[in-house]
Amino acid sequence: MTGGTIGMGRAIVQALTDRGAEVVFTGRGDARLAEARAALDTPLAHPVRSDATDTTAIAALRDQVADRLGGVDYLFVNQGIAEFQTLEEVTEESWDRIFDVNTKGAFFTVQALAPLMAEGGSIVFTTVSNDRIFPGLSAYSAAKEAVTAFSKVLAAELLPRGIRVNALAPGFILTPTMGVAELSEEQRAEFVEQGNASTPMGRGGTVDEVAAAALYLAVDATFTTGVELPVDGGFGQGLGE
Ligand SMILES: NC(=O)c1ccc[n+]([C@@H]2O[C@H](COP(=O)([O-])OP(=O)(O)OC[C@H]3O[C@@H](n4cnc5c(N)ncnc54)[C@H](OP(=O)(O)O)[C@@H]3O)[C@@H](O)[C@H]2O)c1
């Protein structure tokens, strides 16, 4: 489970450990990892510091997962960052930062960990409900759309090994960050309000609703591969417009 310290990632770890699964989860810093470990409060959850933008760290993660778990049944690739920047504001550095975390990190995590997976396993990427767009999220939307594209290619490549690959596409989900880097409390409140107004169900989703969808794709959806499942209260479906 990459990006498991807060928000949806932590809720997925919780849902897995509640069902008795042993889970390695990652984040970039020891403090947040320790906080998550304390909140999860189970010996089944193992924090590992690993930055998804660093392929050496991904290789070290693979070794630690192999040592600790032996193999991987389900791989959740959930880390992500979004930054609101208009066309004029995007810089080469911010573009690379967003693609490094969301896209490159996601791909090379799977390249490193897929060899540890056996037949019947599955991979779930967290993308974004991209059927309706947001001004200011060009790099982020493109980075996640790339993940959607390669998740389908990987579904085909891993088909012969009996490994399913799917994505879940959240809309507005009530996480501490709402998925956006360095959001102030005020901006977060504004974003929540916007989310309530633009989501057909009239509210943001909960992390538990996302975790339920993630576990469905990973565990129960045994006849489903190569799909992207929206978990967005109808946001991307054009309902009521
Ligand atoms: N919240 C929403 O409304 C929303 C909507 C659509 C899509 N999403 C996507 O859903 C996923 C989860 O979002 P969220 O809102 O629950 O939380 P988030 O604030 O977006 O963070 C997700 C996780 O990613 C980890 N992370 C970030 N950069 C990383 C890196 N370089 N290496 C390893 N881990 C890294 C964070 O851990 P540390 O900070 O501890 O490193 C955190 O555990 C993300 O991919 C996000 O883009 C969110």
Closest atom, ligand 1, to C-alpha of 11: 16
- At 126-137, the pLDDT tens digits run 999 988 888 999
Q: Are 183 and 191 in contact (CB under 8 A)?
A: yes
Tens digits of residue pLDDT in 4-49: 999 999 999 999 999 999 999 999 999 999 999 999 999 999 999 9
50-104 tens-digit pLDDT: 999 999 999 999 999 999 999 999 999 999 999 999 999 999 999 999 999 999 9
Res 241 pLDDT > 80: no
End-to-end CA distance of the chain: 36
Q: Of ligand 1's atoms, which has the minimum distance to the CA of residue 36?
A: 40
8 Å CB contact between 57 and 50 = yes
Distances (CA, A) of 43 to 21, 40, 147, 181: 10, 9, 32, 30
Q: Is the CB of 179 under 6 A from ligand 1?
A: yes
Kindly state the average pLDDT of the residues 212-240: 95
74 is catalytic: no
Closest CA to 173 of 231, 92, 239: 231
Alpha-carbon distances, residue 59 vs 24, 68, 99, 101, 181 (angstroms) = 14, 14, 19, 16, 26
Q: Locate the DSSP E strands across 87-194.
A: 117-126, 164-170
Q: What separation in Å is there between the alpha carbon of 120 and the centre of ligand 1?
A: 27
* Predicted local confidence at residue 234, as pLDDT: 96
7 lines ligand 1 (CB under 6 A): yes
Residue ranges and CATH numbers for the domains of the chain are 7-232 (3.40.50.720)
Closest CA to 204 of 178, 236, 238: 178
pLDDT tens digit sequence for 171-214? 999 999 888 888 888 988 998 999 999 999 999 999 999 999 99
CB 73 within 8 A of CB 114: no
* Residue 217 pLDDT exceeds 90: yes
pLDDT score for 31: 98
Q: Is the CB of 55 under 6 A from ligand 1?
A: no
pLDDT recorded at residue 181: 84
Is the Cβ atom of 12 under 6 angstroms away from ligand 1? no
Report d(CA 33, CA 115) in Å as an integer: 26
Gap from CA of 160 to ligand 1 centroid (Å): 31
Ligand 1 center to residue 28 CA distance, Å?
Answer: 11
Over residues 220-232, the mean pLDDT reads: 98
Structure confidence by residue, pLDDT tens digits, 99-125 = 999 999 999 999 999 999 999 999 999
51 Cβ inside 6 Å of ligand 1: yes
